């Protein structure tokens, strides 16, 4: 048995961390609108969950205006958004924590009401997702059929990712994570379900992986590769995603990404696919971390329905190097310390996940506060 466990120090890229309990990126829909700007309430939320030597991966943030597709989500492409995020990075750093930002484009999971010209959202192909989108007023409506991105528009899309990466650096983040999971734009390019292009970005596995690799290389040129991570969901089914046979596609992609020297690979376990929308525990599904660990020589982060015991087992057996916790980090601001001490976790209230104010956001107690009640 190795000595790896949740409270063994680890180096992730250029960061030296004191433990391996990471906060996963979690959409909470509490940014200031108009403007989609991170705010003081968000700074309090992240500061509550920051720990000395811990890493937070902040919530998905759109790289450009056309990347929006959910209400009150923050962006990272305007000066005002950069200033808003500085509140958060300063607050986390004041607690001794580290923080990455997840870069996001929703692609076909958007709606005309979010688009700057009220036009159709972009996607690799003009194929509607068989799911719903939430409009700016929090109403759920069917996803529209998107428009296929023209080949000559690809370079501009890559530049928008680069601009967002530079903006994250200006906002004081310690690195960025590329969101290529959960059915959003980059995964749409990866999978045959959503990509039926006939140019250099469609067809073969190599072509479908091309955009993700080009964007990753471009962002690594801005940040240095060991300040860049990427999130994938190889066996996920969220948001009408899913590849009939994921192994060939993700084997190629992960082997190519492995060559780039990234800070980490972040894999969502398929048992938790779609967990943001409802309680799920998909049965008879493989472990993404176990399958792809042999192909990845850097730090591997696993996420999805983990608690203390099964998280530590994942590290002990060598299938992951760190564990990202989501929903239980919402309801347990001091989650690392609770896991260290084996204290019972506070249950979360799903009804307050998305939108609203301080309730279900800032009012979950720490262990010390619980003891005083």
Which residues are catalytically annotated? 184
- Give the max Cα distance, the chain: 63
Among residues 259, 326, 253, which one has the least CA distance to residue 291? 253
Tokens 């329905």, located at residue: 305
Angle between helices 79-94 and 154-170 (to 10 degrees): 40
Backbone phi, psi, residue 104, to 5°: -140, 135
d(CA 187, CA 30): 25
Q: How far is CA 315 from the centre of its chain?
A: 21
Q: Which residue blocks in the chain are alpha helix, DSSP H?
A: 40-49, 79-94, 154-170, 185-190, 205-223, 246-258, 288-292, 308-316, 327-331, 335-341, 367-372
In sequence order, the 6+-apart residues with CB closer than 8 A to the CB of 311 are 6, 21, 323, 325, 339
CA atoms within 13 A on the CB side of 261: 7
């Amino acid at each position: 048995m190795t000595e790896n466990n949740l409270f063994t120090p680890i180096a992730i890229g250029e960061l030296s961390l004191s433990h391996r309990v990471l906060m996963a990126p979690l959409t909470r829909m509490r940014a200031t609108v108009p403007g989609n700007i991170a705010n003081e309430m968000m700074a309090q939320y992240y500061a509550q969950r920051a720990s000395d030597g811990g890493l937070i991966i902040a919530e998905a943030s759109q790289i450009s205006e056309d990347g929006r597709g959910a209400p009150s989500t923050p962006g990272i492409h305007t000066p005002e958004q950069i200033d808003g995020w500085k509140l958060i990075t300063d607050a986390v750093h004041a607690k001794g924590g580290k923080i990455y930002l997840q870069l996001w484009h929703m692609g076909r999971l958007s709606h005309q009401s979010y688009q700057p010209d009220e036009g159709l959202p972009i996607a690799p192909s003009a194929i509607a997702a068989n799911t719903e989108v939430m409009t700016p007023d929090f109403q759920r409506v069917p996803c529209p059929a998107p428009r296929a991105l023209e080949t000559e528009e690809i370079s501009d899309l890559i530049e928008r990712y680069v601009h967002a990466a530079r903006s994250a650096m200006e906002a004081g983040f310690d690195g960025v994570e590329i969101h290529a999971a959960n059915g959003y734009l980059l995964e749409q390019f990866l999978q045959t379900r959503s990509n039926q292009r006939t140019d250099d970005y469609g067809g073969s596995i190599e072509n479908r992986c091309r955009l993700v690799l080009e964007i990753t290389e471009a962002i690594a040129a801005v940040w240095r590769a060991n300040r860049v991570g990427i999130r994938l969901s190889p066996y996920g089914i969220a948001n009408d995603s899913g590849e009939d046979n994921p192994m060939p596609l993700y084997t190629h992609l992960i082997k190519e990404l492995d060559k780039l020297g990234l800070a980490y690979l972040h894999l969502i376990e398929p048992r938790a696919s779609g967990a943001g929308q409802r309680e799920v525990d998909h049965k008879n599904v493989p472990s993404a971390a176990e399958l792809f660990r042999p192909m990845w020589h850097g730090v591997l982060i696993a996420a999805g329905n983990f608690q203390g015991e099964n998280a530590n087992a994942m590290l002990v057996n060598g299938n992951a190097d760190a564990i990202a916790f989501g929903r239980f980090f919402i309801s347990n601001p001091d989650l690392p310390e609770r896991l260290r001490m084996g204290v019972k976790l506070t249950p979360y209230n799903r009804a307050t996940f998305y939108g609203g104010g301080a309730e279900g956001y800032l009012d979950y107690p720490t262990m010390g506060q619980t003891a005083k009640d």
